[in-house]
Amino acid sequence: MADSSTLASLGRMVVQKRGKVGIRTTAREIGLSPATLSRVENGQLPDLENFTKICRWLEIDPARLLGFDPTDLDRPTVAVHFRSRETMTTETAAALQDLILAAQRALDESD
């Protein structure tokens, strides 16, 4: 696969590797439902479990698709993911952001 592989290219990569093999056969090989595989091929992003299965089948490091530099992977990193549904105030989210950024700076300084 080309080094320009990105998360947006996941579906195209699956289509390319699958070639003329049927979607049901390929889905079974990967461990997905045919409907899920079809959605991925049409550009929808899979959940984390299915993303992992697809990357394993493609024989590609998930970090590469997510845009991570492999040399940064050994460095401790602070990360957070908020649900898209609003569950907190803007002020609380801003305070959490400041806390997370401070933790990342502390980790960076300890290296």
Question: Can you give the residue ranges of every domain in the chain?
Answer: 7-65, 75-110
pLDDT score at 4: 62
Buried b (16+ CB within 10 A) or exposed e, 11-40: bebbeeebeeeebeebbeebebeeebbbbb
Q: Which position has the higher pLDDT, 25 or 82?
A: 25
Arithmetic mean of pLDDT, 4-11: 83
pTM of the full structure:
0.60
Fold of 7-65: 434 Repressor (Amino-terminal Domain) (1.10.260)
Please determine, for residue 40, whether its predicted confidence score (pLDDT) is greater than 90. yes
Q: Which of 4, 32, 6, 8 is nearest to 18 (CA)?
A: 32
Question: How many whole angstroms separate alpha carbon 14 and alpha carbon 98?
Answer: 39
What's the mean pLDDT when you consider all of the chain? 83
The pLDDT tens digits for 69-80 are 666 656 666 666
